[in-house]
Structure 1
Amino acid sequence: MISYLSKFTFGLLAITILGTISGYCQVKSVSPNPFCEKEIVSWDYSSKVIGEDYTIYIHFPPGYDTTKAKYPVLYMTDGDWNMTVAMNCFNMLRQDYETTEPLIVGIGYGSRPNKRGEI
């Protein structure tokens, strides 16, 4: 029997792969949309395969556009809600530890309501 964590991991991987293949996904917004946080940009996508809309949120660390340094990447679902939470967690970590701020990618629900209660 496949565990819930395995199903979650497989689902996240499937969404990520489908989102990167341009034949299956159509960008609804050509340029990034401004977000309430100045450090976050977002793009709207529509999947032709499953007929759902998604919003992809990306937080770029300070100086990302002017360096060739490599950054760790954190991918997460429920990006509509979790982006600022993840950013705050890394800010708290930096207070006590020397850490590299990651590139944070959140997959949101687009124009649909969240599906936290569904299994």
Structure 2
Amino acid sequence: MTNDRLFALTFAKVYPLYVQKAERKNRTKAEVDRIICWLTGYSQAQLERQIEQESDLKTFFARAPAFHPNSSLIKGVICGVRVEEIEDPLMQKIRYLDKLIDELAKGKAMEKILRE
């Protein structure tokens, strides 16, 4: 998938996949929401509004109130690429979120996921 096609995906289509991945590993939708809100600065109500509005990924991340300053502490490989080495800022933000959801699904403690 090209970056443009990925960026055009609606967050409303991607979000349920994150929740499904977490729930298959006995984690919760609330934990997924907490991770998304931590990373983007959205409140729960703002997150729900973005889902309802079916914002594309580009818009979703562009409207994020405050991308967490500790996001730079997110390291590792997702889809065969080190997230800290991704040059495109939008792609890096998307992959940061992917990485955090992966960590949740792998059973990592929420404090470690949120880099506390």
Bigger helix fraction: 2
Q: What TM-score comes out, normalization by structure 2 length?
A: 0.29
Report which of the two has the higher share of strand: 1
